[in-house]
Chain A
Amino acid sequence: MLLVPLRSLIIGVFILGLKGFILRKVVAACLTIVAIVCVNFVIFRMAPGDPVRIMFRDPRVSAEKLEEMKQTFGLDKPLSGQFVAYVKGMARGDLGQSFSHRRPVLEVIAAKIPATLLLVVTALIIAVFLGVALGALSGWKSGTRLDTFILTASLTMYSIPTFALGIILLLVFAYHIAIFPLGGIATPASLYEGAELVWDVLWHLFLPALSIVIWYVGEYVLLTRSSMIEVMGQEYITTAYSKGLKKFRILKNHALRNALLPVVTITGVNLGFAVAGVIEAETVFSWPGVGRLVYDAVSHRDYPLLQGVFLLFAFSVVLANLVIDLIYGYIDPRIKVSG
């Protein structure tokens, strides 16, 4: 079933006449997704003890009830049969029932995606602009006091765990100087509409976004800075100088443009880490997104839900990486020539 989208993608690539580079990337991404689906199946079956018993958590449950549960979840079949059922279900978009919500997992997750996207996209946009600007400045002025300051600050920011930072922000700005809300995405039972509602959501968005931004900024500063320093040593920068071009123009058109290439790829590699920031920030600020769902699933030992969220995160990281690879192929002329 998974081969259908794979095949249509490959055919699509051929029809569009794209280069082998893209084909390779797409095939690799599809294989990764197949592998993730298999790993996911294995992980949840290596749990010590009987999964059905773990679900009940109550040792007094009757044998008939256990048997009934096993049949509902298809756990009475042999492993190979379970695997086929699992893959078939997944192809239909069926990820099973959530224990704690008593609704299909896919439904529960889908309802939470918009909130998470709002948080991540806001944080990412702010952080990229701020981080690239500060990193470029730091690399441009490398060796000066300003550079040392930016570098040390970013290293520190980058290493503080998001949840610790979140708790500090929460205690300071929501409890002690109570200028921001304690959590959630909007004031409960407020009946706000239009501009007021937007303002309310932004007000709730500030602290969780900030705790993610601080981590992201540190990362982008470090990446842009090292890339910038490397570019600044290249001969074409010296050439640009000797042509008498203005400093800012060299920075913008010659140095930064090239320095951004590695920044783009590494963003893809690091997306997996960004997911961690989302889980932590959403948990601390009770942001009703997919990250908070992880926390709830863990505390209720809701394995089907946990499994679903894991798949969602893994798939999005793979897809985002694919997109970034394709963008990279587009902006880096060398790949087009050799591909």
Chain B
Amino acid sequence: MNQLTIKLEKLRIFFKLLFSHRMGLAGFVVISIFLFMAVFASFLGTVDPARTGAVEDILQSPSPNFWFGTDDLARDIWSQTIFGSRISLTVGFVAALITVVSGTLVGLIAGFYGRILEEVLMRIVDFFMMLPELPLMIVLAAVLGPSMWNIILVVSLVSWPTTARVVRSQVLSLKERPFVEASRCIGAGSMRLMFGEILPNVVPLMFAQAVIMITEAIYAEAVLSFLGLGDPTSISWGMMLHYAFESGVIARSMWWVLPPIVSIVALIVSFSLLGTAVSDVLEPGYKEKKGF
């Protein structure tokens, strides 16, 4: 019970520091708006975003009927924008979860066991980090075929090495600390040392990595969809831009292009502001500087 109180108190201080960080607060507020949009999409005056309309409704500018206008197949842009937040956030969160969990596992194992295992794992990490990310993702997405889950898979496949590398260097320094040594002395096994002693101390780092990975995954989904590798059955912001671009009427239909662009930029910038704030707050000495 006592342990839990300490943990809760630590968490409370963390969020207090995060919200007093101007970038952190700004990022958090904007992300919350998009989360709200994604969760309550069906209640926000939307229709089915993929439903094509009548011929006379094609490329309508914003009006009381179509709040954000319509596209070249008379689909409602307001609904596409709202439902698009679901795709971006789903891809972001799921890909980040997979990336951080697998990256942490590799980093933990490599850092803890060392020797040949570390050498082999780190060479693989180095190799992946050397490859240009976007071309690799494009190639994989093109080969696997267009679907949201393939995009999640592709993003995770390409981005786990960064986390593995960061976690490993943290584990290398953690495993020499006295508390790990103490635990080893009273007979703790490898599993207990890795997951019971070292892992809890890597959690803050994992959290910081997760925010960065969400940002990258959202960006990757947007680019891949924009290049025409998105899922045609669920229209994301990147897909909206792709269709607008292919339609050839992009110049005369600002209402079609602006909502997805503003949404993509706002969401990505917010996550990277939040990411900066999280790394600042987790920096050793920041808490003390702010008087905690």
A287 at the B interface (CB under 8 A): no
Name which residue of chain A comes closest to B137, CB basis: A276
Q: Which of A152, A160, A303, A317 contacts B265 (CB 8 A)?
A: A160
Partner of B250, one of A32, A35, A171, A280: A171
Contact present for A161 and B138 (CB under 8 Å): no
Contacts of A307 in B (CB 8 A): 139
The 4 closest A-B pairs by CB, nearest first: A276-B134, A272-B132, A159-B272, A175-B251
B227 adjacent to A294 (CB under 8 Å): yes
Q: Is the CB of A46 within 8 A of B276?
A: no
Residues of B close to A161: CB separation below 8 A: 219, 222-223, 264-265, 268
| A283 / chain B contacts, CB cutoff of 8 Å | 226-227
Q: Does A298 contact B (CB under 8 A)?
A: yes
Asked whether B223 lies within 8 Å of A280 as measured between CB atoms, the reply is yes
Cross-chain contact B227 with A298 (CB below 8 angstroms): yes
- Per-residue CB contact flags for chain A residues 158-170 toward chain B (1 = under 8 Å, else 0) read 1111011001100
CA–CA, A284 and B23, complex, Å: 30
A171: contacting residue among B138, B222, B257, B271, CB under 8 A: B257
CB < 8 Å neighbour of B142 from A155, A156, A306: A306
Please state if B133 and A273 are interface contacts (CB–CB under 8 Å): yes
* Least distance between A119 CB and chain B CB atoms (Å): 16
Asked if A276 contacts B145 (CB within 8 A), the reply is: no
A318 at the interface (CB under 8 A from B): yes
A-B contact count (CB 8 A): 120
Whose C-beta in chain B lies nearest to the C-beta of A299? Answer: B228
Whether B91 is near chain A, meaning CB under 8 Å from some CB there, is no
A275 touches B135 (CB 8 A): yes
Partner of A32, one of B23, B127, B142, B271: B127
Q: A32-B127, A155-B272 are in contact. Are A314 and B223 (CB under 8 A)?
A: no
The answer, among B130, B222, B245, for a CB contact under 8 Å with A272, is: B130
* Secondary structure type dominating chain A contacts: helix
A295 at the interface (CB under 8 A from B): yes
Cα(A294)–Cα(B223), bound, Å: 12
CB of B161 to closest CB in A, whole Å = 12
Q: Chain B residues near A299 (CB, 8 Å)?
A: 228
Interface string of A82-125 (1 = CB under 8 A from B): 00000000000000000000000000000000000000000000
A: number of interface residues (CB 8 Å): 47
**Is B226 touching A314 in the complex (CB atoms < 8 A)?**
no
A residues in contact with B251, CB < 8 Å:
171, 175
CA distance A240 to B136 in the complex (A): 48
Q: Does B129 contact A (CB under 8 A)?
A: yes
Q: Would A313 and B132 count as touching, CB distance under 8 A?
A: yes
Residue of B nearest to A33 (CB): B130
Q: Which of B219-274 contact A (CB under 8 A)?
A: 219, 222-223, 226-229, 241, 245, 250-251, 254, 257, 261, 264-265, 268-269, 271-273
Report B's interface with A, CB cutoff 8 A. 23, 127, 129-136, 138-140, 142-145, 215, 219, 222-223, 226-229, 241, 245, 250-251, 254, 257, 261, 264-265, 268-269, 271-273, 276
A228 to nearest B CB, angstroms? 18
Task: Indicate if the CB atoms of B145 and A314 lie closer than 8 Å.
Answer: no
Residues of chain B contacted by A279 (CB below 8 angstroms)? 134-135, 138, 227
**A185 CB-CB contact with B under 8 Å:** no
- If A155-B273, A317-B130 touch, whether A294 touches B138 (CB-CB below 8 Å) is yes
Check if B269 sits within 8 Å of A156, measured CB to CB: yes
A321 to B131, CA, bound (A): 11
What chain A residues lie within 8 Å of B254 (beta carbons)?
171
Taking CB as reference atom, which chain B residue is nearest A311? B135
Shortest beta-carbon distance, B27 to chain A, in Å?
Answer: 10
Asked if B142 contacts A303 (CB within 8 A), the reply is yes
> With a CB–CB cut-off of 8 A, which chain A residues contact B144?
47-48
| Distance A222 CA – B199 CA, assembled complex (angstroms) | 30
Q: Is A44 an interface residue (CB 8 A)?
A: yes
**Is residue A201 contacting chain B, with contact meaning CB distance below 8 A?**
no
Q: A48 vs B141: C-alpha distance in the bound complex, in angstroms?
A: 12
Question: What are some 26 contacts across the A-B interface (CB < 8 A)?
Answer: A43-B143, A155-B273, A156-B269, A159-B269, A159-B272, A160-B265, A163-B222, A164-B265, A167-B241, A167-B261, A171-B254, A272-B130, A272-B132, A275-B132, A275-B135, A276-B132, A279-B135, A279-B138, A283-B226, A294-B135, A298-B138, A298-B227, A306-B139, A314-B131, A314-B135, A318-B130
A155 to B130, Cβ gap below 8 A? Answer: no
Does the CB pair A48–B145 fall under 8 Å?
yes
Per the bound structure, the CA–CA distance linking A72 and B227 in Å amounts to 30
Write the A231-274 contact mask toward B (1 if CB under 8 angstroms, else 0): 00000000000000000000000000000000000000101110
| A164–B264 touching, CB < 8 Å | yes
How far is the CB of A153 from the nearest CB of chain B, in Å? 12
Report yes or no: B143 in contact with A44, Cβ–Cβ below 8 A. Answer: yes
A294 contacts which chain B residues (CB < 8 A)? 135, 138, 227
CB distance from B276 to the nearest CB of A (A): 6
Residues of B within 8 A of A317 (CB): 130-132
